[in-house]
Amino acid sequence: MKLIFNKYIYSFVFIVLLFAISLPSILHKAGLHPTFDGEVLNLSGKKALIIATNHGVLNAPNKIEGKPTGLLLSELSVPYFDFIKSGIDVDIASIKGGLIPLEPIPYFIKTPEDKKFMKNSSLMSLLKNSISIDDIDFTEYDIIVISGGWGAAYDLGYSEVLGAKISEAYYQSKAIIGGICHGVLGLIKAKDTEGNLLIAGRLMTGVTDKQIQELGISLTPMHPEDELRKAGVIFKSNTAFKDFFANLTVVDDEQRFVTGQNQNAGHETAYKMMAIVANQ
C-alpha cells in the first residue's frame, strides 16, 4: 500500500514539474510575448531614448502603502536589445531620475530579454541610476519610446515636463515617438503650437480597459484606453479570450507616433519605429 501511495506522489510531483517547465511555452503559444522576425537594420550613429516610471507602489487613491510595482521590464528590455542589435545607442531615463523599480513577475512571464538584462550588472545599474528627463534634450534622439508597467499609471501622465519635451521633440526634430502599454500615458500632456493636445485625432493604442478588468487591477489613477480616448485619440485595439494575450502595434498616419497595445508589442513597436527612421 505504501509503495502504491509513493508511486502516486512521485507521479503527481513529476506532472507538476513538467507543467511548471512547460508553462512558459504554453503561454507563448497562447500569445504571450510573440516572436517577431524584424529586419536587423544598420542604424549606427542613431540614438534612442527609453523612458520609464519611478513609481514603485500599487497604492489605492489617498493611500501610501500597497504591493510593489513599477516597470514591466520586458517593455524596456525587448526594445532595448532590438535597438542595440541595429547599432543604435540607447539611453534610459525616468521622470525624476534614479531608481526605476521593477514589477515583480513570476518566472513564466519573463522574456529571454528580461533574463539577459537582469544578468548584466551594468544594465541593471542603468535602472538604479536612470537619467532624469529634466536633464535630457529630447531633440537629440531619433527614437523616443516610453515603457509601461503599472507604476507608469502614477507618474507618466501627470508630468508636464514630459509632455513639453515630447512636444519639443515633435516640432524640433524628426524623432519617432512611441509608447508601450501604460507607457502611452506619457503622451497625453503633449501639446501642439496652439495649445491643443498633440495626439488628438491620431491613431493609437494602449492597454485596454478589458485587460485591466481581467487582471483585476483597476485602482490605478489612470487607465490608458480611457485617457487616450479623452485626449481625442482614435483608439485601436485587438482582443482575445483574455486581452493579456492580444497584440497590436499602431502607426499614426503621419508616421511620427508608434504605439503598442500591451506587453506583447515590444518587438513590433521597436522594429516599426526603426523602419521609419531608416526610411527618413
CA 165 → CA 3, 125, 228, distances in Å?
Answer: 70, 25, 18
pLDDT of residue 34: 93
Q: Which of 53, 104, 58 is nearest to 218 (CA)?
A: 58
pLDDT of residue 94: 98
According to CATH, the superfamily of the domain at 43-278 is Class I glutamine amidotransferase (GATase) domain (3.40.50.880)
For 246, counting Cβ atoms within 10 Å of its Cβ (0-12 exposed, 13-18 middle, 19+ buried), the class is buried
- DSSP string across 79-100: HHHHHHHTT-EEEEEESSSB--
**Single-letter residue type at 221:** P
pLDDT of residue 14: 62
Q: Which stretch of DSSP H or E encloses residue 11?
A: helix 2-30
Q: Percentage helix, strand, coil, to 5, in the chain?
A: 45, 15, 40
pLDDT of residue 18: 65
- pTM comes to 0.95
pLDDT of residue 120: 98
Residues of the chain with pLDDT under 70: 1-14, 16, 18-19
pLDDT of residue 39: 83
Domain boundaries, the chain: 1-30, 43-278
